[in-house]
Structure 1
């Protein structure tokens, strides 16, 4: 996969992420999970320099909010309860999936709730706060978002496209059948839709209908002349996964024919990394504004006893995602717990990334199987201040040299393997802002590419030094 353009701009006032072309984004690193027992996470980076995070609490009885100046800081940030469910009537049960948006100088939280006398009469509601700091001031109940169908509805999100604010949400239509579909409508104000909603997605693929027929949890990012809407499908167990709808930025978004659906999930459970049921995502940006960050929940185990909705252990996670050469998003796989991986881009062949193919390490362009080109830079197996490069999709496998060739192989615990898989991280030999990796057991030999394959070789010429230099992304 080639990085065609790295991020840019968070259009906070519009309540969505709008990316603009820039240079390749520098590497970021976070530690997962970010927050235990917090599902349906929504994180926004505001113009005041703070990230604001809300999510579903497993008791389904309140709306919580926290803020920090860094994404990782949200993990330890104090959490405030900004609203509690009613004791009777509407908004008295199943407080689900809050989202926080800043619109026209005010904060809004969209959420779903049931009734005390019918906990499954789920509808969408809105809170408003005029304070500059949403953790201060008071939250006013703007009431229910009225839709033509008075049926089960949830997961409202809002975005602006070509000057029009839209609401996207999930709702049941008895005429369609059980489960939920995705709908879209323009808005006259932050709590009112106008016109006839468009039904833009119905769960039809087998991966959308496991356990339940579900399209829900929409999130929007705009890039490369297109509008991308992720959504979640199937029951909220290990079958939960993310799909993708795509529309041209010049199309009429209210025309269902403008939207095409991915034939396969774009993000799903991964047994190798022990991540199950990833979904209900949102988008934000890194602290420097240059990298796209996927925010989502999952569980660290597959098997659940009883109803998944009663299992409290969905947790908030974050990881960087990238863009394919064709301008579509590439989310890769839900990475293992711990530090998030990075990619190594060739310094002198900048469309190519280090990846493994049949376990042989090489550089290649257009690596659409993103995880093949992602490595966790961890404490060196050989110690001594070294680092090791662990495969993302084969945890426990490391980049190591064998007969001076670079391979991705399982750690067999031997002293030889530990030494072969350990490198000293150096300032880039061709550019000090980049990196080079020197073998610990063969000093003077560096990871370098030659005819697109990776070797541990000595360097002497300017070409050698460039071949042994990589940019972390």
Structure 2
């Protein structure tokens, strides 16, 4: 069935509970695996389809926070990746005795990529080897560009050429580094995105935040880049924008900040009519056979929900000559699954 090419399509509520920072991947067996921020554990839900994910997924954690130490609380934004033949989970975690400023990125190693990741076993491999552990870091993601592996994450900036900021929580930038293998850094991180636009900040000029990077590429390959979230995730001002990857001649490819072009406007934000949901952000993307390219993101029912009630939603993305398009705003609710299917397909 052909898809309607509407830029501001409706959205479907995937979960009816708090599931912030949703990450969904489709394995080689065709099954979908869903994980999200649960703070004291790394959940993994399994479903055979989007419909089953909505109504009756297999639920359960694959790893729980340690009682003490560097992974004892605030397990944030886990991502499940099949990389070079093995399953990995990349996640941020903090030390309960220290709090948020101790957030660093960690990696779990799982079974072979052709096996069921929920079955495990999973082992903590530690932080990414060679990654500077003096830097606060969250929201790491892994992708390949020209057959080389890269790791992109959100971090606090440098004070100078030697030291990282360790006490401010109101400025986050995007960094990228090359990986030698799925758990080993091969280069120093490079800052590729600073929250310089007013829409990347809170209205009072604080909360200058870029986070939640995700690699996105059009099926035709004419557009490649990163979709990221900006402003504050605990407010209605949270939104998503893009960095198009356009390598400059004679540059260092992905490790050259000049290779990344920020969008003029957000890709997705609150509706201009004041209707919810609110604060759409931290999205991930799938190319599904029947639905085309879809975005999964979290958003709240009420603008006063702050960081509670961030439910996972799904919305279509349209590809244009200029790149990804979602009409700029959250679409109206599609209601139940049957209504979603009816609205996005030609009868």
What range describes the TM-score normalised by the shorter chain of this pair? 0.7 to 0.9
1:283 to partner: Cα distance? 0.5
**1:244 matched to which residue of 2?**
242
Equivalence for 2:108? 127
Distance 1:190 1:201 in 2: 23
Structure 2 residue aligned with 1:420: none
Task: Give yes or no for contact 1:339–1:376 (8 Å, CA) kept in 2.
Answer: yes
Q: Which has the higher contact order (CA 8 A, sep 6+)?
A: 2
1:321 paired with 2:322, answer no
1:229-270 Cα offsets, whole Å, 9 max, x none, are 110111111011111100137871111001110122111112
Q: TM-score, normalization: structure 1?
A: 0.63
Alignment match, 1:228 = 225
* In structure 2, C-alpha distance between the alignment counterparts of 1:376 and 1:153, rounded to whole Å: 37
The answer to whether the aligner puts 1:46 opposite 2:15 as a matched pair is no
Aligned pairs, number: 320
1:182–1:201 CA contact under 8 A, matched in 2: yes
- The list of structure 1 runs, each at least 4 consecutive aligned residues, that deviate by more than 4 angstroms after superposition, is 23-30, 375-378
Q: Secondary structure, in 3 states, of the residue corresponding to 1:207?
A: helix
Contact persistence 1:34–1:72 (CA under 8 A): no
Whole-Å separation in 2 of the counterparts to 1:29 and 1:48 = 29
Deviation digits for residues 7-41 of structure 1, max 9, x if unmatched? xxxxxxxxxxxxxxxx9657999742435210100
Deviations 1:403-424 (A, max 9, x none): xxxxxxxxxxxxxxxxxxxxxx
Q: Measure, in 2, the Cα distance between the counterparts of 1:219 and 1:289.
A: 22
Match of 2:280? 278
- Inter-CA distance 35–220: structure 2 relative to 1 (3 Å threshold): farther
Q: CA deviation at 1:282?
A: 0.6
1:215 is aligned to 210
**SS of corresponding position for 1:280:** strand
Q: Residue deviations 1:360-392, cap 9 Å, x none? A: xxxxxxxxxxxxxxx9787xxxxxxxxxx8xx9
How has the CA–CA distance of structure 1 residues 274 and 24 changed in structure 2, closer, same or farther, with 3 Å as cutoff?
Answer: same
- Higher-Rg structure is 1
Quick check: 1:298 aligned with 2:293?
no
- Does the 8 Å CA contact 1:49/1:69 hold for their aligned counterparts? yes
Q: TM-score, normalised by structure 2?
A: 0.84
Structure 1 pair 280/141, CA: closer, same or farther in 2 (3 Å)? same
Runs of 5+ unmatched residues, structure 2: none
Where does structure 1 lack aligned partners over 5 or more consecutive residues? 1-22, 342-374, 379-388, 393-470
Q: Which residue in 2 is equivalent to 1:157?
A: 141
